[in-house]
Amino acid sequence: MKYFIKKQFAILAIVIILLTGIRLIGFEKEGVTYDEPVYVQAGRDYIKALSRLDFSQESWSFNKEHPPVTKYVYGIAEVGHIGMQKISNWGDDVSDIYTFARLMSVLLGLGTLVYVFFLARFYLNFWLSILAVIVVGLNPLFIAHTRLAGHESVSLFFVTGMWYWYLLYKKTQSRKHFVIMNLHAILAFSTRFNNVLAMFPIWIWETISWWKNLSQKPNWKAKIPWVLIWLPISIWIGLFIIFPYWWTSPIESIQSTFNHWGGDPKELFFGEVRTSPLIYYLVYFTAQTPLIIISLGLFQIISLLFRYPRYKGKELFLIAIFGIWLLWSFSPIKQGGMRYVLPLYIPFSILVVLAIQQLLGKYKKILIGVSILIITYLGIQLRIVYPFYLDYYNEVTGGPAQIWEKNILPIGFWGQGTLEIISSLNKWVKPGESVGFYTLLMPEHKLTSFLPDKVNGIYKIDKNALFQADWILEQSFFTDNYEPIPEYYTRVHTFYGANNAPLFYLYKNHTILK
C-alpha cells in the first residue's frame, strides 16, 4: 500500500513539474504587464512598514482599493530578491521583469494544481484526476496568469484550497478541516473581494443541510448552521486584522477602499469602446476556452442537471462553483477578459474529465487515446499563441489574428510584449531622437529605461509633445478606438504578437525640421 501511494505521489509530482516547466518557457518574453508594478511596489511598501512596525494609514494607502494578501505575497518575494535597503525605490529592478515576484506566482500555480488533484479525487479515480490536473495546467489563461505577478494566481490557490477543504469537512465533520477551510476563505477574500462568489455555493449547501437537520429533530446544537453563521463574519474580521490601512478611522477607510469601485471601466467590445454589457463573460468564456474543453464541459453540466435526482450534493456543488462566477456579469467592474472569474476553470475542467469518464469509461483503450488527443490538442493551442497566452482565442473565433482584424476584442490589452519591442527600437531610432509611447502601459513602468541610449521617451499623458516626437510607438489596440495618429506620421514597421496579430506599430515623423 505504501509503495502504491509513493508511486502515485511520484506520478503527480512529475506531471506538476512538467506543467510548471511549460510555464517557465519564455517566462519573461511578455515583459511587464499593466498591473504588476503596482502590486509589487505596494508589497514593498507593506513589508517595509511591517519591518519598522509602522501601522500609520499613510504607509498602507498605496493600492488601498485592493485587499492586502497579493501585496504581501509579492512583497515577501521582492524582499528575498532585492533586500530591505532597496525596497523603497519605485521600479529600480524593473529591468529584471519582477522575476522573483513572478516565480512566487508560478509557485502558487503549482500549489493550485496540487489542490486541483485532491479536489478531483472526490469525483474521479487517480488517473482521471491526473488528467484534470493536465487540463487545468495546459489552459492558456491559467498558464498566463500563474506566471504574472497579479491577483489571479493568489486567488486561484486560496479559492481552490477552500473548496477542497470544505468538501473534506463535509465528509469528516472535522473541526481541523473546518479551521483550514476557514483560513483559506479569509485569505481568498483578503486577496480579491469578488472571491466571495466562491463561498456562495458553500453557504447554499449549508443552508440546505441546516433545513434538513431541522426536520430530523436533532439536539439544539446540531440545528445551528455554524458554517453559515461564522464564515461570512470571519472573512471580514480576518481581513480587518491583516489590513492596517483599515485600522485608522475604520469606517472612513473602508468607505475609501470601496469608493474606488464606483467607476465605469470602458473596453473594446465588438468594435466599440463601451461599457461592458451583461454578456461580457459569456462572450469571453466562449471565445477564450479551447473548443474541445468547452464542448465537453457544457455537455457534462447539461447531463448532470437532467439527471440531478440521482446525484448527491457534491456533484451539484461542482456545477455551482462553476456557474456562480457568472454572477459577476452583473457587476459594473467587467474588464480584462476572464481574469476576474478565472477560478471557474477549476470546476469546469473537472466537469470536462467527468464527461470523458461518462462517455468512455467502459472503453479503457479509447479513453487513453482520447486523453492523449486532448493533451496534444491543448499543446497545439499553446504553441499557436506562445508566449502571449493572455491573448488566447479559440478556433471558433478564428484566433487572435481574426479577433484583431475584425476589431472584436482587444489584443495586447495588458501591455504584453511592450518592453521587448521598446528594447529593439535601436534598429530604427538614432541617438538624440524621441519616441512617443501611445500605449496603455503607465509611466510608472519606466518605459524610458528600455530605450536605446540617448533616446528620449514621451508618454501619452503629454499629448502635445507626443505628437511632435520623431517616432511614435502605437499599441494596435488604439487603432480606430482613440485619437488617430496625425497624417504627418508614416507607418514604417509592425510588431506581431500571438498568432501574428499586430501588437504595435512604429511611425516616423517626416515633417519636423531637424
**Measured distance CA(11)–CA(8) in Å, rounded:** 5
Does residue 387 contact residue 26 with C-beta atoms inside 8 Å? Answer: yes
Does residue 40 contact residue 78 with C-beta atoms inside 8 Å? Answer: yes
**Measured distance CA(66)–CA(69) in Å, rounded:** 9
Residue by residue, pLDDT tens for the chain (514 residues) are: 566 677 888 999 999 999 999 989 888 888 888 888 889 888 988 998 998 899 988 889 888 889 999 999 999 888 776 665 565 554 445 555 688 899 999 999 999 999 999 999 999 999 999 999 999 999 999 999 999 999 999 999 999 999 999 999 999 989 999 999 999 999 999 999 999 999 999 998 888 877 777 766 556 555 667 778 888 999 999 999 999 999 988 888 888 888 776 667 788 898 888 888 999 999 999 999 999 999 999 999 988 887 765 556 678 899 999 999 999 999 888 888 999 999 999 999 999 999 999 888 788 889 999 999 999 999 999 999 999 999 999 999 999 999 988 888 988 888 888 888 888 898 899 999 999 888 876 555 677 778 888 888 888 877 788 889 999 999 887 655 667 888 899 999 999 988 889 989 999 998 864 4
Residues in the chain: 514
Angle (CA) 204-209-214 rounded to 5° is 125
User: 123-157 as b/e, with b when 16 or more CB fall inside 10 Å?
Assistant: bbeeebbbbbbbbbbbbbbbbbbbbbbbbbbbbbb
Q: pTM for the whole thing? A: 0.92
The verdict on whether omega for the bond into residue 410 sits within 30 degrees of 0, i.e. cis, is no
Domain boundaries, the chain: 2-385, 418-509
